[in-house]
Amino acid sequence: MTLGKNLTHFIEDAIRKSSRIIIVFTPNYKLKADHRKGGVGFEYSIINNQAYDSIARNEKIIPILRNGNYKDAIPDFMQQYIHLDMSNDVDFDLKYKELIREIYGEPELVKPKLGVKPRLSKS
């Protein structure tokens, strides 16, 4: 973004063009998002709309809990989504690897392909 550009348009354009969006939840983020205050409030309104449009198949938004707990840090609408809990610094490296796997669609455990159906005979 360059000086003099419209911040609102910049946020809308960035969200629209992004293939993945990471939202970092903290109590302060929740306060601003739930009350639609400042840039966070505007950003959250746009993301909220996109999330609602794809409520059952969200593949764009990656919610992360970084500080606080479920109730005091995650905005009301986003509480329905599974989030990555990165609030414990002791587990940070492990959770960071999990985040990277999520971003690139490389799960640690891959479901094996279904084998060939056995031939069943009637007795």
Residues 70, 15, 10, 98, CA torsion sign: positive
2 in a domain, yes or no? Answer: no
Q: What residues make up the domain containing 78?
A: 7-104
119 in a domain, yes or no? Answer: no
Reduced to 3 states, what is the DSSP secondary structure of residue 87? coil
Residues in the chain: 123
Residue 76 confidence class, pLDDT cut points 50, 70, 90? confident
23 in a domain, yes or no? Answer: yes
> Could you give the strand order of the β-sheet that contains 84-85, starting from the edge strand earlier in sequence?
21-25, 61-65, 84-85
Number of domains in the chain: 1
Residue 56 has pLDDT above 70, yes or no: no
pLDDT computed for residue 52 by the predictor: 64
30 in a domain, yes or no? Answer: yes
Q: State the chain's mean pLDDT as an integer.
A: 86
61 in a domain, yes or no? Answer: yes
116 in a domain, yes or no? Answer: no
- Tell me: the pLDDT tens digits for 97-117? 999 999 998 988 888 999 898
Q: What is the pTM of this model?
A: 0.76
Residues 6+ apart with CB under 8 A from 67: 25, 26, 27, 73, 87
